[in-house]
Amino acid sequence: MALILATIAFIAVLRATKNLFGQKASFWTAAAFALSGPFLALARLGVYDTLALAGIAVSFWAVTEL
């Protein structure tokens, strides 16, 4: 479950930065996000923090779609 939510958060961050800054910035932001220590720790743990992270990332993506 945590891995699925972490993947959703990753995709939401990727798409939000693509909407705001373009393809190249989106790639580098997603790479930095995927390799950050806190994100990797949350992706491996089965806690509710991953759900909160995914919700915030999807909300941020939805705002950039407006």
Containing structural domain, residue 37: 2-65
Count the neighbouring beta carbons within 10 Å of the beta carbon of residue 3: 11
List, for residues 6-59, the tens digit of each pLDDT value: 899 999 999 999 999 999 999 999 899 889 988 888 878 878 888 999 999 999
pTM (predicted TM-score): 0.85
Q: How many domains does the chain have?
A: 1
CA torsion through residues 24, 26, 31, 35, sign: positive
